Amino acid sequence: MPSDDILTITHHTDFMRWGFNPHWASKPINLINARYETLNEKSSFRESKRCLILADGWHEWSNQENLKAPYYFHANDDILFFAGIYADNNYGKGCAIVTIKASEKISMIHHRMPLLINHINLKDWLEGSDDSKTY
């Protein structure tokens, strides 16, 4: 749940609050998602650092034909690594999940999804690679 502490990886494992606050904010904003397409454009993310967020899946809600239905996306018993960003400032250490346009299979449920990082590209994400084709 947003504002809970969640397990992350930077150069070590750590728990961070799920809620990102830019350094310039005069009061907490607690952003929970950050669009990959705007990470290098928005001032909110300009001084962010990268992290990985460990999860076993994520929920999306579909509102098709006025029927709101929950969907749970997962990889069976495998751990998923979401691309994340974080800040450590006067609001504490907080993070946000980086999202991308949903894959074709998921887009009928929701138009966005977490950017999933492949096991072999974990270090690349943390070190700042922007080659999204590798994820």
Comparing 10 with 61, the larger pLDDT belongs to 10
pLDDT band at 107; cut points 50, 70, 90: confident
CA distance 35 to 63: 22
Q: Is 122 helix (H, G, I), strand (E, B) or coil?
A: helix
The residues facing 116 across adjacent strands are: 82
Structure tokens at 106: 């998921």
CA distances from 118 to 13, 54, 78, 94 (A): 18, 12, 12, 23
How many Å apart are CA 32 and CA 58, to the nearest integer?
A: 13
Provide the pLDDT for residue 132.
55
Neighbours of 105 (CB within 10 A): 9
Listed residue (82, 61, 76, 105) closest to 16, CA to CA: 82
DSSP 39-75: TTT-GGGTT-EEEEEEESEEEEEEEETTEEEEEEEE-
Tens digit of pLDDT for each residue in 7-49?
999 999 999 999 999 999 999 999 999 999 999 999 999 999 9
Task: List the domains of the chain with CATH numbers.
Answer: 5-128 (3.90.1680.10)
